[in-house]
Amino acid sequence: MESKELNLFDCLSWDLLNNNEFQDSTLQQKTTIRNISKQPKNRRSKKDKLFSTPDNLSDALVKDQNKLIHLDPVPIFRERSEIKPWLQKIFFPQGIDLVIERSDSSKVIFKCKANPNRTCKSESTSRCPFRIRATFSIKLQKWNIVVVNNIHSHKCKFNPNSEEYKKFKKYLKDNNDIDTIKLFEEFEYKFKFNLPIFKPNVIKCDCGLTKEISLFNNIVLPINKPSKESLLLTKTKKITKKSTLTNNSNSTSHSNNNKIKIKTENFIDFNTNANLLNNNQSFGDDVTNLNEIDFTNMFKLEEKEPESLSIENFEFETSNNDILSEFIDFNDDDNTKTVSTESELNDLSYFLNVDLVNDPVNMKDLDSIATPNEFIEFGL
């Protein structure tokens, strides 16, 4: 069966995956994904794996229940302990905090780190079905890595203060992986100040539906038919941001022209980033403790050029509009209502979003933009 390759990881800095100890001959090509759909069994034994082509991928992802995304190629890992940091390089920027669920000498199963959501138990990451399975193939003498359930029970937010991320950075430091350290310094910096993280050429589309983005979008599309609410969740998020810019909080104002306004909305977001507010440790000890600052009405809004799209825009623009049109009622009242109950939704979050919840920025932080590398320290 033919297996065309999708440039999933073009959206990440490829150098990240291709340097230092992970560098080897298998990485002459780019890591790609193959879509593997579970099909009815030939006999009565094992699940068949189909390597779907990009052409039928979109349909398959929407219709079929269980999808496997095969990462290939992967480096030649000397020890299985090298797999986790390699995956973390890919999935931390996706807002996914990986931990090992189970492992032995020939297998490592990864899942989302448990992070109980006190406000909404069903959104706890403890029950998240997302899995990455790495198995060592004896025949091929290499590790196969497959994303098993590309679904999350929660929103995927990058948390630079998580223990896993600290251990990851320590690993990079211990291995003297300078290039990756620099890349994640840059990533943290851009994340903190809500700068675009994906390379501009990846999001170079003007309509949000170029080939690359369409393919990437296929991958992050819902595996099950998305519910109206789950789709609204992504869209109305922008509206919330929009409204908070003018009303600052709990606004019920709305826009009748979402798509236009989203492209020009400001990056600064007054929504609370619970992760940051609950954790004193930020980039370093010399950083002002965000806990002790009242951010209300103290921020200057930075003007943004349309061609430099934010992650938030990227999320929205790359949504499959055909599907959206099937389910979304653009009635404004519906939109605002969904926003108000966002945290209590019981639905699974069907999007593998890079859900960069923008955190508040004060003037001192903005001052440090000029010297990010000094500022961002990789302590621990």
Chain residues binding DNA by CB under 7 A are 45-47, 80-81, 84, 99-109, 111, 113-116, 124, 126, 129, 131, 133, 135-139, 141, 144, 148-149, 163
Question: Which residues inside 175-204 make contact with Zn ion, applying CB under 5 A?
Answer: none
- Residue 126 per-residue DSSP state: G
Q: How far is the CB of 139 from DNA (least distance, A)?
A: 5
Q: CA-CA distance, 213 to 205, in Å (whole number)?
A: 8
Beta strands in the chain (DSSP E): 32-39, 48-52, 67-72, 98-104, 107-112, 131-137, 142-147
Q: CA-CA distance, 243 to 252, in Å (whole number)?
A: 7
Residue with smaller CB distance to DNA, 3 or 103: 103
Q: How far is the CB of 356 from DNA (least distance, A)?
A: 22
Q: Does 130 bind Zn ion (CB under 5 A)?
A: yes
CA distances (Å), 152 to each of 111, 253, 328, in order?
10, 30, 21
Q: How far is the CB of 65 from Zn ion (least distance, A)?
A: 18
Residue with smaller CB distance to DNA, 117 or 321: 117
Which amino acid, one-letter code, is at 369? I
Which of Zn ion, DNA, none does residue 130 bind (CB under 5 to 8 Å by kind)? Zn ion
Q: CA-CA distance, 18 to 27, in Å (whole number)?
A: 7
Q: Kindly state the tokens that stand for 74.
A: 């992967």
CA distances (Å), 372 to each of 3, 45, 190, 286, 363, in order?
42, 56, 9, 13, 15
Q: How far is the CB of 203 from DNA (least distance, A)?
A: 32
Residue with smaller CB distance to Zn ion, 98 or 276: 98
Which of Zn ion, DNA, none does residue 300 bind (CB under 5 to 8 Å by kind)? none
DSSP-based helix, strand, coil % in the chain, nearest 5: 40, 15, 45
Which of DNA, Zn ion, none does residue 145 bind (CB under 5 to 8 Å by kind)? none
Residue with smaller CB distance to DNA, 130 or 267: 130
Residue with smaller CB distance to Zn ion, 86 or 130: 130
Q: CA-CA distance, 35 to 231, in Å (whole number)?
A: 23
Q: How far is the CB of 60 from DNA (least distance, A)?
A: 17
Q: How far is the CB of 120 from DNA (least distance, A)?
A: 14
Which of DNA, Zn ion, none does residue 78 bind (CB under 5 to 8 Å by kind)? none
Q: Does 128 bind Zn ion (CB under 5 A)?
A: yes
CA 166 to chain centre: 18
Q: Does 223 bind Zn ion (CB under 5 A)?
A: no
Q: How far is the CB of 300 from DNA (least distance, A)?
A: 35
Q: How far is the CB of 311 from DNA (least distance, A)?
A: 25
Q: How far is the CB of 130 from Zn ion (least distance, A)?
A: 4
Which of DNA, Zn ion, none does residue 152 bind (CB under 5 to 8 Å by kind)? Zn ion
Helix 178-192 to helix 163-174 angle, to the nearest 10 degrees? 150
- To 10 degrees, the CA torsion angle through 89, 95, 97, 98? -60
Q: Does 152 bind Zn ion (CB under 5 A)?
A: yes
Q: CA-CA distance, 106 to 88, in Å (whole number)?
A: 19
Which of DNA, Zn ion, none does residue 47 bind (CB under 5 to 8 Å by kind)? DNA
Strands 48-52 and 107-112 come out as unpaired
Residue with smaller CB distance to Zn ion, 68 or 183: 68
Q: How many CB atoms lie within 10 A of CB 118?
A: 7
Which amino acid, one-letter code, is at 170? K
Which of DNA, Zn ion, none does residue 113 bind (CB under 5 to 8 Å by kind)? DNA
Among 271, 284, 282, which Cα is nearest to 359's? 271
Choose the stretch contacting Zn ion; rule: CB under 5 A; options: 49-57, 85-93, 111-119, 296-304.
111-119
Helix 83-91 to helix 163-174 angle, to the nearest 10 degrees? 120
Choose the stretch contacting Zn ion; rule: CB under 5 A; options: 68-76, 109-117, 323-331, 344-352.
109-117
Site residues for Zn ion per CB under 5 A = 112, 128, 130, 152
